């Protein structure tokens, strides 16, 4: 069992499809977030990753790397499916919702929601 990340409300990531998105966050900051989750053992047993559009999450041009590279390098070793640029959260077309806590399937570049979020 992994140690707590620093709060008793730590993520329940085992078997989960982990959705992450942000706006105007630098790639090094996303790198730091993912490194913290990795080192805390929170990425060991995820079923997959879905990253939002990550609007305006760009590095200074002189720094020579982009967010997609950071994400790829950190999650590739986990060996699970991943989507990048999913239209949800702070999307360019408006705030879109994504249900949490429902059964879903992530494979072959597609995210399928398998049940309703409310009854």
Q: Provide the whole-model pTM.
A: 0.86
pLDDT digits (tens, 9 = 90+) for 22-72: 999 999 999 999 999 998 889 989 999 999 999 999 988 888 889 999 999
12 pLDDT above the threshold of 90: no
What is the pLDDT, as a whole number, of residue 64?
84
pLDDT digits (tens, 9 = 90+) for 75-98: 999 999 999 998 887 787 887 788
What is the pLDDT, as a whole number, of residue 72?
93
String of DSSP letters for the chain: -PPPSSSTT----TT-EEEE--SS--HHHHHHHHHHHHHTTTTTT-SEEEEE--TT----GGG---HHHHHHHHHGGG---EEEEES-EEETTEEE---SSS-EEEETTEEEE-S-S--
16 pLDDT above the threshold of 90: yes
17-20 sheet: strands from edge to edge: 17-20, 48-52, 82-86
């Amino acid at each position: 069992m992994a140690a707590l990340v620093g709060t008793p409300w730590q993520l329940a990531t085992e078997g989960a499809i982990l959705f992450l998105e942000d706006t105007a966050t630098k790639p090094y900051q996303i790198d730091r977030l993912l490194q913290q989750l990795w080192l805390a053992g929170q990425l060991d047993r995820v079923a997959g990753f879905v990253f939002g559009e990550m609007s305006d999450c760009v590095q200074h041009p002189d720094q020579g790397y982009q967010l997609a590279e950071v994400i790829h390098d950190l999650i590739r070793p986990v060996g699970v499916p991943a989507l990048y640029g999913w239209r949800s959260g702070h999307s360019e077309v408006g705030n879109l919702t994504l249900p949490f806590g429902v059964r879903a399937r992530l494979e072959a570049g597609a995210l399928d929601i398998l049940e309703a979020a409310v009854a």
